[in-house]
Amino acid sequence: MVTPLTQITEDEKMFIGEIEKFAKSQIAPKVLEMDESEHMDPELIKQLFEMGLMGIEVPEEYGGAGCSFSLAILAIEALGRVDPSVSVLVDVQNTLVNNIFLNWGTEDQKKKYLPQLCSGKVGSYCLTEPNSGSDAFALATRAFDEGDHWRLEGKKIFITNAKEAEIFVVFANINPELGYKGITAFVVDRDTPGFSVGKKEVKLGIRASSTCEVICENLKIPKDSVVGEIGKGYKIAIETLNEGRIGIASQMLGLAQGALDGAMQYASEREQFGKAINGFQGIQFQLAEMGVMIETARLSVYNAARLKDAGLPFVKEAAIAKYWASEIAEKVASQALEIYGGYGFIKEFPAEKFYRDAKIGKLYEGTSNMQLQTIFKLMEAARS
């Protein structure tokens, strides 16, 4: 199997190496404090922009790095090994927000928003609502055509990056009678009157990553705020989330690798009965099994990214990668914590945070059950 690592240039491989160094030297010392304060360090966000991590796929003409989707996936993985909260911030920016403008934005929108998203402004993707989760198109947020402007009314929940973001892509329905064919995507600047970020959720894991309500109340935006075609928001959401699922899979892959890295190091240092615990066959087998699970997940993630870059069908592979990487992240994080013994249960060691962070992988950007449903449907379609 050809992996993205064989497709990227030597300069890109060096770039990934720099990300790994950055994660260890700049992110790692801040992980515990950011988790406990539930706050992303603004200086860290600034550094992410300076390194080019917030516009990896964006062409250079718009201020981005002009690299491949596979490189973005490798970057998300590298960050996830140290802090999945930072990883998902970069993931949403690249695989969801930037990709919406790249694939569906007008040339004017690309020229206006992509340079901002690459140089200093965080983006956010606003789809989920109180009664619209797995049933993503049961949107209640409305968009009203009022002649020279649109008016948006509604509330979104569980919106990643909302606290830090300045550019939002909001999905609303122009006519509920049309069902999903009325859904349209709009770009909204944070400082627009009628737009506000509401309650920030207190979460089990990825606590430094902000998850907030977004409220549109008598929000008036220009007619050229539509991203893509009117009524095509459902298509934008589906296709963007298909790519985003590979990003979440990569985040979970990085998390699992980070948990294993810590467990391997601890097992080599912790002594019981006169020798390091990695000298006991039981521990060796556990660590080996964790490594096997991670490698199978890595192959599925890289394969999905490879197919996407090649312009080949990848929806089933993206669902497989998202499902399996989320499964193994939870299993590996749990086993890693047990290898630490009692120390795994306290915050001084990284195992308990990886364990808490892992659970979200099965929930956001499509639950595990939704991934299985997608996989089954595509398997059935291929059979007929």
Span 78-124, pLDDT tens digits: 999 999 999 999 999 999 999 999 999 999 999 999 999 999 999 99
Q: State the catalytic residues.
A: 365
- State whether 94 and 140 are in the same domain: no
Q: Mention every residue, 6+ apart, whose C-beta is less than 8 A from residue 11.
A: none
Q: Can you say whether the dihedral through the CA atoms of 27, 28, 33, 36 is positive or negative?
A: positive
382 has pLDDT over 80:
yes
Confidence of residue 4 (pLDDT cuts 50, 70, 90): low
Distance of CA 39 to the CA centre of its chain: 17
Which of 231, 253, 287 is the last residue in one of the domains? 231
47 has pLDDT over 60:
yes
- State whether 103 and 221 are in the same domain: no
10 has pLDDT over 90:
no
d(CA 186, CA 126): 10
- State whether 316 and 368 are in the same domain: yes
pLDDT digits (tens, 9 = 90+) for 270-326: 999 999 999 999 999 999 999 999 999 999 999 999 999 999 999 999 999 999 999
Closest by Cα among 322, 327, 313, 332 to 365: 322
- State whether 89 and 130 are in the same domain: no
Three-state DSSP at 282 gives helix
CATH number, domain containing residue 130: 2.40.110.10
> Which range marks the domain in which residue 189 is found?
124-231
pLDDT at 156: 98
d(CA 362, CA 205): 12
pLDDT at 12: 83
Count the neighbouring beta carbons within 10 Å of the beta carbon of residue 222: 12
CB 102 within 8 A of CB 114: yes
- State whether 103 and 53 are in the same domain: yes
- State whether 139 and 265 are in the same domain: no
Q: Which tokens in the block code for residue 118?
A: 């690459």
- State whether 360 and 292 are in the same domain: yes
DSSP state of 149: E
- Percent of the chain at pLDDT above 70? 98
Which of 97, 122, 147 is the last residue in one of the domains? 122
CB 264 within 8 A of CB 248: no
Confidence of residue 2 (pLDDT cuts 50, 70, 90): very low
Confidence of residue 195 (pLDDT cuts 50, 70, 90): very high
CATH number, domain containing residue 337: 1.20.140.10
Q: Would you give the end-to-end CA distance of the chain in angstroms?
A: 27
Confidence of residue 1 (pLDDT cuts 50, 70, 90): very low
Locus of tokens 């998390």:
255
- State whether 110 and 134 are in the same domain: no
- State whether 369 and 241 are in the same domain: yes
The pTM for the full model equals: 0.96
pLDDT at 13: 87
Phi, psi of 38 (to 5 degrees): 55, 50
CATH number, domain containing residue 27: 1.10.540.10
Q: What amino acid is encoded at 13 in this protein?
A: K
d(CA 1, CA 18): 26
Rg (CA), the chain: 21
pLDDT digits (tens, 9 = 90+) for 351-375: 999 999 999 999 999 999 999 999 9
- State whether 272 and 153 are in the same domain: no
Across the chain, what does the average pLDDT equal?
96
pLDDT digits (tens, 9 = 90+) for 219-276: 999 999 999 999 999 999 999 999 999 999 999 999 999 999 999 999 999 999 999 9
pLDDT at 344: 97
CB 190 within 8 A of CB 123: no
pLDDT digits (tens, 9 = 90+) for 146-171: 999 999 999 999 999 999 999 999 99
User: Which whole-number Å values give the CA distances from 359 to 14, 250, 309, in the listed order?
Assistant: 32, 14, 28
pLDDT digits (tens, 9 = 90+) for 120-146: 999 999 999 999 988 878 899 999 999
Which of 68, 94, 122 is the last residue in one of the domains? 122
- State whether 203 and 273 are in the same domain: no
How many domains does the chain divide into?
A: 3
DSSP string, 38-81: T---HHHHHHHHHTTTT-SSS-GGGTS----HHHHHHHHHHHHT
pLDDT at 6: 53
d(CA 250, CA 340): 25
Locus of tokens 């402004």:
121
Tell me which H or E stretch contains 251. helix 233-269
- State whether 185 and 239 are in the same domain: no
pLDDT at 198: 97
DSSP state of 349: S
